Amino acid sequence: MDLQNWQSSQHLRWSFQHIAEFLPTAAISRGTGPVAALEPEPADLDSIPIILVAGGTAATLRQVIDATDTDGWAVMHRGKLVVEEYFGEMTAVSSHLLMSVSKSLVGAVAGALSDAGLIDVDAPITTYVPALLGSGYAGATVRHLLDMRSGIAFSENYLDPFAEVRRLEEAIGWAPRIDPGLPSTMYGYLQTLQQKTFHGGAFEYRSCETDVLGWVCEAAGGEPMPALMSRLLWSRIGAESDATIGTDQVGTGMFDGGINSCLRDLLRFGALFLNGGLSLTGEQVLSPTWVTETLQGDTDTREAFLYSPGDNRMPGGMYRNQLWFPYPGNDVLLCLGIHGQMIYINRPAGLVAAKLSSWPLPQDAAKLFSTIGAFDAIAAALAGSAG
C-alpha cells in the first residue's frame, strides 16, 4: 500500500481500516472516564420495506446494506443497541477512516470552545489566525467556516486530480507529489487559497473550510487538535477506544477527513444531538444553546443551501455547524463522508445509526439516499413499535 494506490477502489476496504500502517497519525485519547454502556436489545429489522429514492423501487433493509459496500453498521434506539453488524475483516474494535464525518467532530470542538467563551463565531478568522491576513480568508468569519459560506475558490471535485481538494492531499503527504512548488504543510497550503466571491453568500461544500476551522480551534484552545479533541469531546462522550487523526509532515491534523474511530463510538457522539449536548454518561459536552442554534440555523441558512452551486439533492435542507440537515425542519441530522461514511440522527425517534463503508466511488447518490431511506424506515418502525 502506498500513496499512489491506497484510495483506489480495490484497496479501500483494507486501507480505510489500516491508515496508521502507511500514513502518519496522532492519537485522540479517550481518557480515563467511564465507557458509555450500549446494552444490546436486538430487533429484527431485515423485513422492513425500504422505498429507495433512486428509481423509487422497493428493497429490503438487507438488500440496501448488501448493495452499499458496508464495512460495519449499527443502530442505537433510546440508548439500546438494536443492531450491530460487521463485514470482511472489520470488527467492533477496528478503527475505520471517517472521511468527512471528521468535519462534524471538529465542528463540535468549535462548539465547545464557543461555549467556553474562547471562540466568538462572529469574529473574523484572522482574530485567531493572523497568518491568514494575506489570503483569501481575510474578512471571513468563523461562522462562515462553520456553515461553509466563505467566498473561497476551492473545487471539491474528487475525480479531478488537479482540483484543490486533491492538491490539499498532495500538500499534506496523502497523495504523490506532482507539483514541487506546492507548500508541504496543511497550514502552508491554506494560506495560498484565494477569494472568488463575497464571504457570507451561498453554501458551497469545501473541505478547506474545516481545515481553517481546525486551525482556529487550535489557536483559540491553545493545544493541537488531538489533545484539544480529547479534552473537549472524545474523553467526555464515553468513548470505548482512542480515535486517531492523520497528520501532515509537521504533525498538523487532517481536520476535514482524517479521523479514524470504531463504529460504536460514532453512536456515542451522535447521541449528543438527541439530548441537548448531554453524553450517554450524563456529561454536558455541548451546551443546550449550541445544540439549539445548530438545529435552528439562521434566518438565511436554508436559503444559502438552496442557492448552493453543488448538487446537494436535499430540497429544503441546510448545512449548519458542520452538519447536514437533509429535510425541512430539524428532525434528522447527518454527518457524512465520501465513500459511504455516515452518522444518522433522528431526534423524534430517539435513534442514532452509523455506517462505515468502502464505496468504489467517492460520491454515489443512489447509495447515499438509499442508506438515508433505510435509516428513515428503521426510525419509523422503531418509533411505531415503541408507541
**Strand 80-86 to strand 39-40: parallel, antiparallel, or no bridges (unpaired)?**
parallel
Q: How far apart, in whole angstroms, are the C-alpha atoms of residue 62 and residue 129?
A: 48
Cβ atoms 52, 368 nearer than 8 A: no
Q: For residue 335, what is its C-alpha cell?
A: 454527518
Taking the CA atoms of residue 353, residue 106, residue 199 and residue 135 in that order, the dihedral angle to the nearest 10 degrees is -140
Q: 241 an active-site residue?
A: no
The C-alpha cell at 176 is 504523490
Sort residue 61 into left (φ over 0), alpha (ψ -120 to 50) or beta: alpha
Q: Is the Cα dihedral 105, 110, 113, 114 positive or negative?
A: negative
Q: Which among 15, 94, 95, 100 is annotated as catalytic?
A: 100
The answer to whether 81 touches 39, Cβ cutoff 8 Å, is yes
Separation CA 313–CA 146 (nearest Å): 21
Nearest in space to 212 (alpha carbons), one of 289, 262, 270, 151: 151
Q: Which residues are catalytic?
A: 100
